[in-house]
Structure formats: structure tokens, C-alpha cells
Structure 1
Amino acid sequence: MPHLTISSDKAELDVPAIHHFLSTQSAWASGIALATVQRAIDHSLCFGGTLDGRQVAFARVVSDYATFAYLVDVYVLEEYRGRGYSKRLMEAVMAHPDLQGLRRFMLATSTAHGLYARYGFTAPLRPETLMERYFPDLYRQ
């Protein structure tokens, strides 16, 4: 199996490829503008997974690096799924030195509960304490 290289160096990210996936293939960011993706990347800890020079995986973490983090925009391109790359990506995220010792690390998923459970993520212990403002169709307006 070819080796997936994972880097948190933003200079190595293929931002147009990330935008293309998020805006046309993701269930959560359909229609998102390139400028919005770039701003999100600029203000996040990002992980790009490359294979033979092509970016095939991505994850982004929003954090204060002291107490809290939120994992978002995790994907592996469809034609590269089923090869363990999502696990490699998550291992890199969870091992990153800036993300250790956090009190709360959150994410939202509708399809990958099994993947995230491997890394200690569970349903909220006290869901009654969580609130949100959520605009699911914001980018399609």
C-alpha cells in the first residue's frame, strides 16, 4: 500500500482541492466559498494527507491549545477510502503536541461514529449542557 504522508504545514496544503471537496462533495459544507475555506484554514491547525504528491485527506482543528478543541472538515477522497487513511489521519491529529491535555475535544459527525470512538470520542455525557447556533444551508444561500 502506498504511504500516506501527513503534515500540519499549511504551506503543503492544496487549498483549491480542499475547497473543491468541501464545496461539491461534503454533506456539511456544500457551496462554501473558497475565501471562507481559506479563512478557516488560516485560523486552524490543519492536517493534509498526501499520496504521490496528491492531497487525498484533510482534517482541521479549531482550538485555544490549552483547554478546548473542535475537530472539523475531516475527509478522505472517496477513491482512497477503505485503506486505513482515516485512521492514520486521526492518529496524527490525536498525537499532535499542541492538542494534548485538553479538557474538551469535540466533533460532529453523522456517519463516522465508529472511527472517532477508536480515539475516545463518545456521545456528550451531559447533552443538556450543550447549545448551538446552526445554519446548515448557509453556504447554499
Structure 2
Amino acid sequence: MSQIAFVNLPVTDLSRARSFYAALGFSFDERFSDDRAACVVVSEHIFLMLLTRERFAEFTPRPIGDPARATSVLLALSRSSREEVDAFMAAGLRAGGTDNDMIQDHGFMYARSISDPDGNVLEPAWMDVTAYERSLGDELNSAIDA
């Protein structure tokens, strides 16, 4: 089985970044953290590496983008309810994040968008897969009836 081992994010202030992700309720794996990196434990299988820009540069020969100026990645993080999406946003805003004013509400899916203090974009999202599958069936039935 393949899985993403780490999602690496460049940060300008590691202490500030740690505080932000801690405020979202995430823990840290200190075995993979030091004064240039912090390993954020999102779940049993999802880890974010917050890397100082200098440390991040050691992993790529290309210039490092500035997430405060241009978006390269959107990290969608599942939540178990609409309320958890809103709670995630509230915690992130209190910790210095920026609301990107991007709300998706399709009934069966609800997502929002927040940038961390460095501009990395997180999208807390909830989806009722059963309701989504039902909506696909309804669309198919409507197309057949037409």
C-alpha cells in the first residue's frame, strides 16, 4: 500500500506555525521535530512537516514559492460534521489564520478555506457520502426520465 508519508510546508516562523497547528488540535511527533522542523500529526496516516524555508530548500533544487503570494496546494482535511468544519475555522482564525471566504455548501458536502499564517491553504471539509451517492442516483434517474 502506498501513502503519502509527509506533506512538507515551508514556514517563515516555526514557533508561530507550531502554535497555529496546535490551536487546531493537532499534536506533534517530537522525534521528527527540531529547531528547523516540526512534525504535525493530523491522523494515524497523515503528517505535515512544517519546515523553515532554509530546511525546505534542502529538499529541492528549485526556488521555493511563497504561499502568501501564490497557491500551489490546497490541503483538504476531512472533519466528521459541518459543526467540526466551523469549529476548525474558528480555532484557526483565533490562532492567526486568514479566512479565504471560500464556502462550498452542496448539502451533502460542506467545506471552507483558511490560510495558515504563512499562507498555506487548509480546507476543512465534511461530506455525507451516502447522500452524495443518492444524489447521483437521482441525477441518473432524471436523465433516464427525460
Task: Answer whether TM exceeds 0.5 for this pair.
Answer: no
Q: Which has the higher strand share?
A: 2
TM score, norm. by length of structure 1:
0.25
Task: Please say which structure displays the higher CA radius of gyration.
Answer: 2
